Amino acid sequence: MGLIKILPFVLLAVVGFVLWKKLRGSVGVATQQPSANKMVECSACKTHIPENEAIMQDGKIYCSKACL
């Protein structure tokens, strides 16, 4: 008889936990950091820089105008 009285509370706790995880998961997706850019190596000084900051000239990658 005691199990029948406890069962609704257990079910309510499980449903609440599942809902909490779903809501928390959807919020977590919105707050994730954007992925980092691909890193490339400068042809002159061998420094690694983000691809979006690299300078390309004659098919080679450079980190700055000083390395051209």
Distance between CA atoms of residues 67 and 44, nearest Å: 6
The domain limits of the chain are 1-32, 36-68
List all residues 6 or more positions away from 5 whose beta carbon is below 8 Å from its beta carbon.
Answer: none
pLDDT per position as a tens digit, 14-24: 999 999 888 88
Query: Residue 9's pLDDT is what?
Result: 93
Contact call for residues 54 and 40 (beta carbons, < 8 A):
yes
pLDDT per position as a tens digit, 22-66: 888 765 555 666 666 899 999 999 999 999 999 999 999 999 999
